[in-house]
Amino acid sequence: MLETSYGKSTLNSLKNTENFTDSAIEHIFEGQVNARGKAVGYHYEGIEGTSGNVIPGTESSVNNIGVYKAQVEVNGIPKTANGGFSTFYSKNLSPQQVVDAINEAYSNCELKLGTRNTYQGVANNGMKIDMFLDQSGKIISAFPEE
pLDDT at 3 over 70: no
Whole-angstrom distance, CA of residue 61 vs CA of residue 122:
21
Identify the burial level of 28 via C-beta atoms within 10 angstroms of its C-beta, where 0-12 means exposed, 13-18 middle and 19 or more buried: buried
pLDDT at residue 5 in the model: 83
Q: Is the pTM here over 0.75, yes or no?
A: yes
H-state helical runs in 4-120: 24-29, 95-106
Residue 113: which residues within 8 A CB-CB, separation 6 or more? none
Residue 2 confidence (pLDDT): 47
What's the whole-number mean pLDDT along residues 102-124? 97
High-pLDDT (> 70) share of the chain, %:
98
CB 68 within 8 A of CB 50: no
Choose between 116 and 3: higher pLDDT: 116
pLDDT at position 4 over 80:
no
